């Protein structure tokens, strides 16, 4: 064995062999101790067909998707919605189906040019509060309904699923240009068989939180659907999601969306100070004097930031202002001073 140092366990094995009368030689005892290896069980019912690199790619891709979907859903519901990626696992299709509630909102998706179908499941515990919010409900939610969705509720849910598909399409555009659509909606997940029960699927789970209400959304992707594009997932193309540089097309697209945005515009005519007693004594027709001259330029603020200087006037019998000049940003003002 040369200069190799024996461990404590090997020393004890040698002593045991010597005390046993030579029934086991020291070399055999040491060899038996060293050949012990950790055995990892392998379940042939759940083969890991998706590589670790692809799983990491899917996780990173859908983490960015969850943030964007949460922002879009918050805008739709006029309430803060937190969307958090909880897990990315691979399991069999039968395990996925039997883990769902019945009834539920089971959306069968078509993703061109991928083969087969995807599945979007929305848990009733978060779905009905969302529907209640869309119908103008308050903070308090009623008892959870255990029934299939009505036709009106399906129409409302389609707004959520279309928003989900639109953000998912943007998340995948650096990997593959997808055309996503909903083929049909089922309430009993066990009636839908898109792949064999033992087929491996990738389950991407999101937790949605609206105030104190929480629920799950699950995206199920069969492995045979993404098998032929697995190399693209391994090529780190997903890293550029959300980090792409500004292009002329993206700038024009953002500008078109901002054109219709409403902003707050405030024109400050003058500022002055009065005592509380004078304030309480004000009546209709009273005049408040200021130190601002009528010919001085007025400050025009957009969303609380002064952007323009203007003059007061009238246009067609209505009060108006005429923009005279643009105010330089604060950084430029500091640099000039």
**Assigned domain for 108 exists:** yes
Q: Among residues 47, 53, 65, which one has the least CA distance to residue 205?
A: 65
What tokens were used for 215? 């629920």
Compute the distance between CA of residue 201 and CA of residue 96 in angstroms, rounded to an integer: 8
**How far, CA to CA in Å, does 47 sit from each of 57, 149, 196, 198, 214?**
19, 36, 14, 10, 32
Decide: residue 6, CB within 10 A, 0-12 exposed, 13-18 middle, 19+ buried: middle
Please report, for the domain that includes residue 301, its CATH number. Answer: 2.30.330.10
Residue 31 has pLDDT above 60, yes or no: no
Write out the DSSP string of 34-51: HT--PPPP--TTS---S-
pLDDT at 41: 64
**Assigned domain for 286 exists:** no
Q: What is the mean pLDDT of residues 169-198?
A: 87
Instruction: Find tokens 């839908």 and name the residue.
Output: 192
Residues 31, 153 within the same domain? no
Confidence of residue 4 (pLDDT cuts 50, 70, 90): low
pLDDT at 212: 83
**How far, CA to CA in Å, does 9 sit from each of 6, 232, 240?**
8, 49, 52
The pLDDT tens digits for 72-107 are 998 888 888 899 999 998 889 999 999 888 888 999
Residues 211, 270 within the same domain? no
Decide: residue 187, CB within 10 A, 0-12 exposed, 13-18 middle, 19+ buried: middle
Residues 141, 78 within the same domain? yes
Write out the DSSP string of 276-315: HHHHHT--TT-----S--TTSPEEEEETTEEEEEEEEEEE
Q: Among residues 57, 251, 252, 71, which one has the least CA distance to residue 167?
A: 71
**Assigned domain for 170 exists:** yes
Confidence of residue 334 (pLDDT cuts 50, 70, 90): very low
The pLDDT tens digits for 284-301 are 988 888 887 777 888 888
**Assigned domain for 322 exists:** yes
Map residue 130 onto helix, strand or coil.
helix
Residues 20, 57 within the same domain? no
Residues 136, 224 within the same domain? yes
The pLDDT tens digits for 185-224 are 988 888 888 888 888 899 999 999 988 889 999 999 998 8
Please report, for the domain that includes residue 212, its CATH number. Answer: 3.40.1550.10
pLDDT at 177: 87
Q: What is the mean pLDDT of residues 134-155?
A: 78
**Assigned domain for 252 exists:** no
Residue 325 has pLDDT above 60, yes or no: yes
Q: What is the mean pLDDT of residues 291-319?
A: 85
**Assigned domain for 285 exists:** no
Residues 188, 88 within the same domain? yes
Residues 6+ apart with CB under 8 A from 117: 108, 109, 110, 111, 183, 194, 222, 225
Long-range contacts of 302-309 (CB under 8 A, 24+ apart): 302/263, 302/264, 302/265, 303/263, 303/264, 304/264, 304/266
Confidence of residue 336 (pLDDT cuts 50, 70, 90): very low
The pLDDT tens digits for 34-73 are 545 566 665 555 556 677 888 888 888 898 899 999 999 9
Mean pLDDT of the chain: 80
Contact (Cβ atoms closer than 8 angstroms) between residue 126 and residue 81: no
Which residue segment(s) compose the domain that 326 sits in?
262-274+292-336
Residues 152, 299 within the same domain? no
Confidence of residue 242 (pLDDT cuts 50, 70, 90): very low
What tokens were used for 80? 């803060």
Write out the DSSP string of 225-273: HHGGGHHHHTTTGGGGTTTPPP-HHHHHHHHHHHHT----EEEE-----
Compute the distance between CA of residue 192 and CA of residue 225 in angstroms, rounded to an integer: 16
Residues 85, 229 within the same domain? yes
Residue 164 has pLDDT above 90, yes or no: yes
The pLDDT tens digits for 18-28 are 766 554 444 54
Map residue 117 onto helix, strand or coil.
strand
**Could you give the number of structural domains in the chain?**
3
Residues 61, 180 within the same domain? yes
**Assigned domain for 249 exists:** no
Residues 66, 89 within the same domain? yes
Residue 152 has pLDDT above 80, yes or no: yes
Residues 69, 27 within the same domain? no
User: How far does CA 39 lie from the centroid of its chain?
Assistant: 39
Q: What is the mean pLDDT of residues 174-190?
A: 88
**Assigned domain for 284 exists:** no
- 205 φ, ψ to 5°? -110, 135
pLDDT at 203: 92
pLDDT at 217: 92
Residue 327 is inside which H or E element, if any?
none
Q: What is the mean pLDDT of residues 299-318?
A: 86
Residues 268, 238 within the same domain? no
């Amino acid at each position: 064995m040369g200069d190799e140092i024996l461990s404590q366990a090997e020393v004890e094995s040698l002593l045991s062999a010597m005390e046993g009368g030579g029934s086991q030689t020291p070399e055999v005892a040491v060899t038996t101790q060293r050949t012990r290896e950790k055995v990892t069980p392998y379940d042939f019912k759940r083969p890991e067909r998706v590589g670790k690199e692809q799983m990491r790619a899917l996780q990173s891709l859908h983490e960015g998707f969850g943030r964007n979907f949460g922002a879009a859903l918050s805008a739709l519901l006029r309430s803060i919605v937190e969307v958090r990626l909880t897990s990315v696992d691979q399991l069999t299709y039968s395990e996925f189906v039997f883990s769902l509630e019945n009834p539920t909102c089971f959306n069968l998706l078509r993703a061109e040019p991928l083969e087969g179908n995807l599945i979007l499941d929305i848990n009733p515990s978060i779905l009905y509060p969302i529907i209640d919010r869309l119908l103008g409900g308050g903070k308090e939610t009623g008892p959870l309904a255990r029934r299939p969705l009505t036709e009106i509720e399906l129409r409302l849910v389609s707004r959520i699923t279309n928003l989900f598909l639109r953000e998912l399409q943007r998340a995948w555009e650096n990997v593959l240009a997808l055309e996503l659509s909903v083929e049909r909606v089922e309430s009993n997940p066990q009636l839908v068989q898109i792949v064999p029960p033992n087929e491996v699927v990738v389950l991407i789970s999101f937790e949605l939180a609206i105030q104190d209400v929480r629920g799950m959304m699950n995206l199920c992707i069969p492995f045979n659907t993404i098998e032929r594009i697995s190399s693209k997932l391994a090529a780190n193309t997903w890293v550029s999601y959300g980090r792409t540089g500004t292009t002329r097309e993206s700038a024009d697209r953002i500008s078109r969306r901002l054109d219709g945005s409403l902003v707050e515009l405030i024109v400050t005519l003058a500022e002055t100070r009065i005592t509380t007693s004078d304030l309480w004594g004000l009546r209709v027709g009273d005049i408040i004097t200021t130190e601002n001259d009528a010919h001085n330029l007025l400050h025009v603020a957009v969303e609380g930031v002064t952007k323009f200087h203007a003059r007061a006037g009238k246009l067609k019998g209505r009060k108006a202002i005429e923009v005279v000049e643009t105010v330089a940003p604060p950084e430029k003002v500091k640099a000039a001073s």
